[in-house]
Structure 1
Amino acid sequence: MKGESMDWVGLLGRVLMSAIFIWAGIGKAMAPAATMAYFAKDGLPVPGAAYAVALVVEIGGGILFLVGWRVRTAALVLAAWCIATAFVAHYHPGNREQMINFMKNVCMAGGFLQVLAFGAGRLSLDRR
């Protein structure tokens, strides 16, 4: 694959990578009390602040990444978010399912670091 078709592959990659964050952020926005209770259960000291940060990172960062505007900054923030949430929410070595989620977060961080290194591609607002 070359040229223009790879531009579409890059856009599809951004769509797929951003979808989980936008979806999760909207879910959190629709259930603030339940989300903050979950954050408290995970031991976060200020669940309300964590909730606000989660909305900004997941919805805001997800949308920026999707459209490819300031994508390198969004990729860095989302990579850091993936690692932070991997350790806070999913690092339970005795629980195979949680460790699979942990490794998925690590994998997503790797994908974001690739975008940080190489950019969003030609079909992005950064290129306009």
Structure 2
Amino acid sequence: MTTLLAFVGRLMLALLFLVSGANKLMDISGTDAMIRAAGLPGGLALITGLFEVIAGLALVFGVLTRFFAVLLAGFCLLAALFFHNNVADPMQAANFLKNIAIAGGLLSLTALDSIRWSFDAMRARRRAEIATVDAEHRAHDAEIRAARAEGEATARSAFGGEPAVAGDGSVARRRRWI
């Protein structure tokens, strides 16, 4: 149940940024005017809209989830400080607190140990599988080396000295002429 709730929560957070970023991209000039009115340099509307859409998609698919969640949390905090800093106005105070709460939710998302149903989880499972296969290969190689050493020791004792070694490293059997 917690996996499902974490997944739905991640989608709900992503939806906010996808819609907001798409709106910014559809009205770049209006967004740019709003950014300049806050005292920030112009030309950030396209970058901001693309960032929100890309980061929202990253949350949806679970790609670098913790990284994008931290970036979006910082984005929300900056938006609260630059755009909703008039806390005397009840609407601005509510928007300020909303952005703080969204940043808190995003930071909580970074604290999750297992982000299932995501690309990050799939990548972690694949790394664990590769580590297991590598360990099995190392154990198999050790068994082969031990068998070769045992074969060489048997050959030495059977032939009374150094065995003949072929070009490929295998022990050649000497014929006994009796």
Same topology, TM > 0.5:
yes
Report how far residue 93 of structure 1 moved.
1.9
| Structure 2, unaligned runs of 5 or more | 123-178
State whether residues 82 and 109 of structure 1, in contact with CA within 8 Å, keep that contact through their aligned partners in structure 2. yes
| Correspondence for 1:66 | 60
Structure 1 moving runs of 4+ over 3 Å = none
Q: How far apart are 1:57 and its partner, in Å?
A: 2.3
Distance 1:81 1:60 in 2: 13
Shift in Å, 1:67: 1.2
* 1:38 matched to 2:34: yes
Structure-2 change in CA distance of 1:72 and 1:10 (3 Å): same
5+ residue gaps, structure 1, are none
Q: Which has the higher contact order (CA 8 A, sep 6+)?
A: 1
Q: CA separation in 2, counterparts of 1:110 and 1:65?
A: 15
Structure 1 vs Structure 2: percent identity of aligned residues?
A: 28
- Cα deviation digits, residues 83-127 of structure 1 (max 9, x gap): 000000011021111110000100111111111122562111101
Alignment of 1:9-88 (within 5 A): 9-44=5-40, 46-48=41-43, 50-88=44-82
User: Does 73-82 or 109-118 show the bigger shift?
Assistant: 109-118
Aligned equivalents of 1:119 and 1:27: distance in 2?
A: 33
SS in 2 for 1:23: helix
Q: Is the 8 A contact 1:72 1:119 kept in 2?
A: no
Q: 2:111 aligns to what?
A: 117
How many residue pairs get aligned? The number is 122
Query: What displacement does 1:56 show?
Result: 3.0
TM-score by length of 1: 0.89
Distance (whole Å) between structure 2 residues aligned to residue 62 and residue 113 of structure 1:
15
- Cα RMSD of the aligned pairs, angstroms, is 1.2
